[in-house]
Structure 1
């Protein structure tokens, strides 16, 4: 039966190939949408862990989380460094990580921070940052690179780099070329925006902006006299907070949100992410519905092709009957072909979706900070593949039943 089915499909190679193509493309679209959705959520969720609050200037929860943690977008305002120092010493606060954003290097964000960043920042399942090479910054013009920055730009320990003013693209016309930095450390890969960041001290951020006003350099600064300047930061973009006890979370958040010296927002990372997914929920459902309709169209195309070819194969079926094949064999032959087409189309669709994900992964990582990767079908993807197989098998019952009911005489009769 299997040999006969494969030979029959080989004789109808063109129609079979078109049917497989339609099913594969429709399945790939559905799987691609689902993989991007689930892996995007996982990528965002793995970016930060162990942090209780993200604090910045008064803003929306989602906007604050995006620019401070995911390096997407720009802050609405900065916060005073004196406010940060006072809040960092508040009751219940175990540690804080200051963040000063705004500069870049060849399209990658520069993060001004302190040593607490390497001590307390965690990602994934509370994994701490580790250095693959070198050590954290100690001198004023030391820089620690994320894994992707070092890999894509080919930097090694001891190389000198120049930072650019503003969070621009890969090319900038406002550079801090009078104060180059030396690479002293390269972080191990994390699969988070940390990989696409350059880390310097807060004092270094102040130093490179000496003599700058309104985004342009107004006067030069002699590096030999840099120690004469007060490099204490004036403002920060945001800071991360870790608490001594989770029971103090709401009290500390309320105290920050009602701060009277300047308007601030304290955001729970998990709650902000949940708000983001709620905002995108309708779009996700719309994409899933469209993808499901595409799969349905693919299966309908398979059914149409099988029914259209049935009239052409009546003589073939009748000859099989004349050679001893019973109605059950004819039924099983046509039903097995439909089931096999559904199976092959589903597998090819899955492989096509995975190859597309791999091809688009670098672009998604560079443009949107999303980590996309291949993997075995799980969850909704696995259930969808099973559903397509079942639907394809059920669709094959229609032409199989029609062939079952054809009589031997009807098949052998010439129709003019």
Structure 2
């Protein structure tokens, strides 16, 4: 435990460096020093604070540093070593997840939906320690249609009827009983119908207002695609044990739908769909998700990229309040410079559009100045010197 004297010494020492470190760093440093189990001395406190100040100051960039180019190189160079292997099993053989370069491209292109949307759903204390309770929530979440619980369906064009045989095992797996399936069918807008039971799991639906084969087959498709329960977009929900608790891994993502389910821990829920996060939790959450997803993809490939370079990409993609791609339809295409846009893609179109609008090139950025051979406002180019000659 830290003594009262050392506590006051820590506060006094931190007060002296408040101009050298950001408030968040000082706050983290305070919490760490005050909550340590080590018996600190004045000398220890001085060394820790001096080291923190030194590390922070060494992490700062020099004025004029080309952070964008350095970040692009730091991610682009290791990116050339990434595999083109698209899928692997997500800890369980039933689910695939996109990896490597295809996933990185998905993130920076800000695709509306990932090719393999996946959610990791953590549960509250009441549900996370028992498999049966976790399965109960998984069944609520998994989108189940009639076609998922039948073993066969046959059409009788003579009697204008459809016979459905339910699969006993699938009904049990999905937590559905035959009576609930019939109840759902009876509530559908199918016109005048009559349902007759053949046995516990087989029944026939007679359509009394249908007189042509085409309409009957349309009814068959409608029946197969009828929702029994679950959340749209969640094709599978698999319970998996992580440490001492059970979590649910889903094939498909619907963040807004899942957070309303009782037993789901909203604070820990994860999805790889960036746009869903932005729509549900806001742009700051999306920024954090972009950074984490890029870091995760690179680390899975054994590539080490400084987090600050990844954060710069996430910042650029979200700085306007919406998630934008790095490309001509996003960040690059929205540059104010005509020449910078033209240098990237579809040169003639950009120049013609700019001429038609009467745009003015102000030569404030890097690309446009390089094109015409002017010094750029980076590195030594950021310094302007004037020299006064003593003329006699």
- Shared topology, TM-score over 0.5? no
TM-score in terms of structure 1 length: 0.19
Structure scoring higher RCO (CA < 8 A, sep ≥ 6) equals 1
TM-score in terms of structure 2 length: 0.20
